[in-house]
Amino acid sequence: MDEKAFAPELEEGFGAPDPPSLARGEHDPDDPHVPIGPWTARLVDALRSRPLRWAAERGSERVANRVIIMGAAGRDFHNFNTVFRDDPETEVVAFTAAQIPNIEGRRYPAELAGPLYPEGIPIHPESDLSGLIRGLGADEVVFAYSDVSHETVMHKASLVLARGADFRLIGPKRSMLKASVPVVSVCAVRTGAGKSQTTRRVVRILRGRGRRVVAVRHPMPYGDLRRQRVQRFARAEDLEAQRCTIEEREEYEPHIAAGCVVYAGVDYAAILAQAEKEADVLVWDGGNNDLPFYVPDIEIVVADPHRPGHERTYHPGEANLLRAHVVVINKVDSAPREAVEAVRRSIRELNPQAVVVEAASPITVEDAERIRGRRVLAIEDGPTLTHGGMKFGAGVLAAMRYGAAEIVDPRPYAVGSLLRTFESWPGIGPLLPAMGYGEEQVRDLETTVARTPADLVLVATPVDLRRVIRIDRPALRVGYELQEVGKPDLEDVLARL
């Protein structure tokens, strides 16, 4: 649908969507308690002037159900593709965006949205949700992103219900795709639990048995969605050719280095059709704590005893735990024993049939003695520190273990987008999250590192940042791999294949 044909104001354009800080500037005229931004206010006024052309009709036929999908450029697009794209009785009138920067203000392109959406679908900031429900006449709001507390999900549900719409979660039966080859999925109860090293361990075991293994990574489409419909990475040059961000490199590069092809993108049915042609086994490499997109034959879920209790209180991590065939309790080498036992207790109560594997993630540091007595800057995985809520990572553990004199707080020296990251996530503490969703963030990361008065930089990210940004002082790489403790182990678990 072409908004410009239906509202004169849209001919001139509304300008940029409201940032969250401006969403407090005006109020919904139907409810003075609910703030909306100036951009959304103009949109609402325009739509109210012609309510049956854009908000209530597709062509000349009334659409039965108008839907807004709340997301973060991942599960939201997948739910649209699998549930709504070809449904003539439903019109998805908007996506909203959270967690990931620079998604809002774009469109889900017509080439991906299908023939029912010749103009594509607009993506708005989540802060405008209340006004969008009223202005677009939405009947239903679908929540479609991950690693949020149950309490947060229900607060969002309350807002949607207060505006008069239904609130919905799409389940696995409607959104999971069935592969023609066996699938092993690796998901988690929280971001930062250790999915990546668990996935690498699974791939090594299967490849060691002579299997042709292809990894399929949870979506990270932060660039041109049209070009990212199906992505295949087999060589380091593929990362450069597809202009991958730091966040993407962190997930794809370790697979490539191990000789494993990895797929990602936007359309996971098209990805599946291509990936299963070159694999005996697919390994689903989960993102955040989301559910798998493919029906798993073996469903592995990683739990984190550094955050005991979170396996019960975060969405959809608890659902992952309830579904799991295998639960890996990671980091038993660094977590208090009572915390490990608390996670074991949750597993017994929620999913007593699951096989439990204990594992460590021992850190390795090149030339570790250089840390002793130095003032160090610890750079850690960004999402683990932000919406993952972790207060430390492998860099901090390395600094403590090898006698650093001080962990230098980078917050006074942060610039640009990183300054905003610290403002949005004040609990991060004296660590530097490797935020790299785009060129601006990469530049700001490089500048912040240069401004921070440390003797030594500890790079504790899945990708070697020394190859991505300029670091103007000595820098050591901190790594970590999964190592099972005792029996059963992942070798035993995967023997079922």
Lowest mean pLDDT among 2-6, 286-290, 368-372, 380-384: 2-6
pLDDT digits (tens, 9 = 90+) for 364-393: 898 899 999 999 999 987 777 776 777 778
Examine the pLDDT at 83 and tell me if it is beyond 90.
Answer: yes
Q: Are residues 45 and 86 in the same domain?
A: yes
In a shared domain, residues 218 and 273 = yes
Mean pLDDT of 89-109: 92
* DSSP designation for 178: P
What is the domain-level CATH number for residue 280? Answer: 3.40.50.300
Last residue of a domain, one of 155, 174, 193: 174
Neighbours of 51 (CB within 10 A): 14
What per-residue confidence (pLDDT) applies to 475? 94
Residue 314: pLDDT band by 50, 70, 90 thresholds? Answer: very high
Question: What pLDDT does residue 433 have?
Answer: 87
Q: Does 442 or 191 have the greater pLDDT score?
A: 191
pLDDT at position 44 is 52
Percent of the chain past pLDDT 70, that is, above it, reads 87
Residues 292 and 349 in one domain: yes
CB 208 within 8 A of CB 490: no
369 CB contacts (<8 Å, ≥6 apart)? 402
- 85 sits in which H/E element: none
**CA-based end-to-end distance of the chain:** 48
pLDDT at position 27 is 46
Same domain for 368 and 344: no
Residue 294: strand pairing partners: 177
β-partners of residue 264 are: 231
Q: Residue 200: exposed, middle, or buried by beta-carbon count in 10 A (0-12, 13-18, 19+)?
A: buried
Same domain, 121 and 200: no
Asked which of 16-25, 174-183, 296-305 is least confident by mean pLDDT, the reply is 16-25
Residue 147 above 60 pLDDT? Answer: yes
Closest by CA to 388, choosing from 200, 196, 231, 253, is 196
- Placement of tokens 């997948």 in the chain: 78
User: Any idea what the CATH number is for the domain that residue 114 is in?
Assistant: 3.40.50.720
In this predicted model, what pLDDT tens digit does every residue of 419-477 receive, in sequence order?
888 888 888 888 898 876 677 888 899 999 999 999 999 998 877 888 888 999 999 99
pLDDT at 458: 95
Residue 252, both tokens: 């794809």
Q: Which amino acid is at 322?
A: L
Looking at the 3D structure of the chain, how many domains does it have?
3
pLDDT of residue 283 exceeding 90, the answer is: yes
Residue 415: how many CA atoms within 13 Å on its side-chain side? 13
CB-CB contact of 330 with 359 (8 Å)? yes
pLDDT tens for residues 25-41? 344 444 444 455 555 55
Q: In this predicted model, what pLDDT tens digit does every residue of 213-271 receive, in sequence order?
A: 999 999 988 889 999 999 999 998 999 898 888 778 888 988 999 999 999 999 999 99
Domain that residue 413 falls in: 364-480
Q: Do 189 and 128 belong together in one domain?
A: no
pLDDT for 42:
59
H helices, E strands: number in the chain? 19, 27
Asked whether the beta carbons of 434 and 460 are under 8 A apart, the reply is no
Average pLDDT over residues 332-345: 96
Q: Are residues 143 and 221 in the same domain?
A: no
Boundary-marking domain end, from 115, 146, 174: 174
Shared domain for 205 and 341, answered yes or no, is: yes
On whether both 65 and 140 belong to a single domain, the answer is: yes
Q: Whose CA is closest to 191, among 276, 103, 54, 290?
A: 290
Angstrom CA distances, 465 to 32, 380, 421, stand at 48, 10, 19
Digit-coded pLDDT (tens) for 481-497: 899 999 999 999 999 88
Of residues 51 and 327, which shows the higher confidence score?
Answer: 327
DSSP-based three-state secondary structure for 481: coil
Question: Is residue 381 located within the same domain as residue 355?
Answer: no
pLDDT band at 62, cuts 50/70/90? low
Q: Are 218 and 74 in contact (CB under 8 A)?
A: yes
Check pLDDT > 70 for residue 152: yes
439 and 305 in a common domain: no
Phi, psi of 9 (to 5 degrees): -60, -30
**Longest CA–CA separation in the chain, Å:** 74
Question: What predicted TM-score, i.e. pTM, was given to this entire model?
Answer: 0.82
- Between the alpha carbon of residue 289 and those of residues 299, 319, 383, the distances in Å are 13, 10, 11
DSSP state of 403: T
Domain co-membership, 305 together with 227: yes
Q: Which of 304, 360, 282 is nearest to 147 (CA)?
A: 304
